[in-house]
Amino acid sequence: MEGVGALPPTERKRESVRRMFDRIAPRYDRMNRLLTGGLDQRWRRRALDAIAIGPGDTVLDLACGTGDLAELACARGARVIAVDFAREMLRGALRRHIPAVFLQADGAALPLADGSASALLCGFALRNFVSLPDAFAEMARVLAPAGRFAFLEVDRPRSAPLRALHSLYFDRAVPRLGAWLSDRAAYAYLPQSTAYLPPEPELCAELAKAGFERLRKTPLLLGAAQIVTGLRT
Ligand SMILES: C[S@@+](CC[C@H](N)C(=O)[O-])C[C@H]1O[C@@H](n2cnc3c(N)ncnc32)[C@H](O)[C@@H]1O
């Protein structure tokens, strides 16, 4: 893909995304709380509820960032392995003393054995992977048979009036607030990166091809965000 607006061209996407998260890491949590009015943490809890994370689970928090999902999964008694490729995001996670194992690695080449996780969480990160089919294949490899996954992602409402209203906030206000309070390029990239998310039927087809079934999408906040769940066959 050619670079469009704030989107990097495919061959530079990996490095560009990694550097961007390293830059915004110090203000990442505060910006999330501010931009969602604190709803992001409620949505993370809902993602854990959706696949009943609990004691006895070995959870992979893929693209864990500063560890919000890992912390919530640990609080539910799960053993957690959390992976991210951005050193500064991981540094932020380590400062929180979350009782998880944190590893620096690429989501497309995880340093984990086949079938080593009973559940996988991935929050707001699908858009950032260079190749979703490769990422899904790697997720299927590390999940045990019948392992569950939950993706939490941004979305755009379906109905035209809501979509227009949402766009005023997400496409116009968010980049301005981000430029003012954090990093212009990163918060210009945020709304544009939804272009990397395939429509639901295509996403489900890719997940099915990778070996997942019982796929389900749950809209959040009238379609501004979504949770996608499924099972490893
Ligand atoms: C928007 S943040 C989400 C962080 C966290 N999951 C959350 O819920 O806040 C996206 C994260 O994905 C990570 N990431 C993107 N591509 C990755 C890849 N190929 N391998 C590992 N981590 C990746 C980034 O470094 C960043 O920390």
Report how far residue 115's alpha carbon sits from residue 224's, in angstroms, rounded to the nearest whole number. Answer: 33
Report how far residue 34's alpha carbon sits from residue 141's, in angstroms, rounded to the nearest whole number. Answer: 36
Listing DSSP states for 162-176 in one string gives: HHHHHHIIIIIIHHH
Ligand 1, residue 25: give the atom nearest the CA: 27
Query: From ligand 1's centre to the CA of 216, what distance in Å?
Result: 22
Please give the average per-residue pLDDT across 48-74, as a whole number: 98
Q: What is the pLDDT of residue 11?
A: 80
- CA 163 vs. chain centroid, Å, equals 22
65: Cβ below 6 Å to ligand 1?
yes
Q: ∠ CA 18-19-24 to the nearest 5 degrees?
A: 100
Q: What is the pLDDT of residues 115-150, one digit of tens each?
A: 999 999 999 999 999 999 999 999 999 999 999 999
Please give the average per-residue pLDDT across 147-167, as a whole number: 97
Please give the average per-residue pLDDT across 210-225, as a whole number: 98
Q: What is the pLDDT of residue 6?
A: 77
189: Cβ below 6 Å to ligand 1?
no
pLDDT band of 3, cuts 50, 70, 90:
low
67: Cβ below 6 Å to ligand 1?
no
Query: From ligand 1's centre to the CA of 65, what distance in Å?
Result: 5
Q: What is the pLDDT of residue 4?
A: 57
Q: What is the mean pLDDT of the chain?
A: 96
- Residues above pLDDT 90, as percent of the chain: 95
Ligand 1, residue 67: give the atom nearest the CA: 5
Please name every residue paired with 225 in a beta bridge, in sequence order, or none if there are none: 154, 220
Please name every residue paired with 84 in a beta bridge, in sequence order, or none if there are none: 104
* Nearest Cα residue to 152 out of 125, 173, 184: 125
Please give the average per-residue pLDDT across 166-180, as a whole number: 97
Out of 41, 124, 194, 197, mutate this one to test ligand 1's pocket (max ligand atoms within 8 Å of CB): namely: 124
Please give the average per-residue pLDDT across 221-233, as a whole number: 97
Judge contact between 150 and 230, C-beta under 8 A. no
pLDDT band of 215, cuts 50, 70, 90:
very high
Report how far residue 73's alpha carbon sits from residue 54's, in angstroms, rounded to the nearest whole number. Answer: 7
The yes or no reply on domain 10-159+185-232 and CATH 3.40.50.150 is: yes
117: Cβ below 6 Å to ligand 1?
no
